[in-house]
Amino acid sequence: MTPLVDTHCHLADPKLRPDADAVIERGRAAGVRAFVSVGAIGTIETDAATVAIAERYLDVYAVVGVHPHDAAGADSRRFDQLRELARSSRVLAIGETGLDFHYLHSPREAQEAALRRHLELAAELDRPIVIHCRAAEARLVEIVREVGMPRRAGVIHCFTGDAAAAREFLALGFFISFSGILTFKNAGALREAAQVVPDDRVLVETDAPYLAPEPYRGRVNEPAYVSRTLAALARLKDTAPETLADRVLENASRLFGFAAG
Which residues contact Zn ion by CB under 5 A?
96, 132, 207
Of 132 and 201, nearer to Zn ion (C-beta) is: 132
Nearest distance, CB of residue 1 and Zn ion, angstroms? 26
13 versus 234: smaller Cβ distance to Zn ion: 13
What is the SS3 assignment for the chain? Answer: CCCEEEEEECCCCCCCHHHHHHHHHHHHHCCEEEEEEECCCCCHHHHHHHHHHHHHCCCEEEEECCCHHHHHHCCHHHHHHHHHHCCCCCEEEEEEEEEECCCCCCCHHHHHHHHHHHHHHHHHHCCCEEEEEECCHHHHHHHHHHHCCCCCCEEEECCCCCHHHHHHHHHHCCEEEECHHHHCCCCHHHHHHHCCCCHHHEEECCCECCCCCCCCCCCCCCHHHHHHHHHHHHHHHCCCHHHHHHHHHHHHHHHHCCCCC
Output the smallest distance, CB 95 to Zn ion, in A.
9
Q: Minimal distance in Å, beta carbon 176 to Zn ion?
A: 14
Give me the least distance between CB of 157 and Zn ion, in Å please. 6
Name the residue whose CB lies closest to Zn ion.
132
Residue nearer to Zn ion on the CB measure, 96 or 112: 96
CB of 8 to Zn ion, least distance (A): 6
By beta-carbon proximity to Zn ion, the closer residue of 95 and 150 is 95
Least distance between Zn ion and beta carbon 15 (Å): 13
Pick the closer one to Zn ion by CB: 153 or 199: 153
Residue number, 134 or 247, with CB nearest to Zn ion:
134
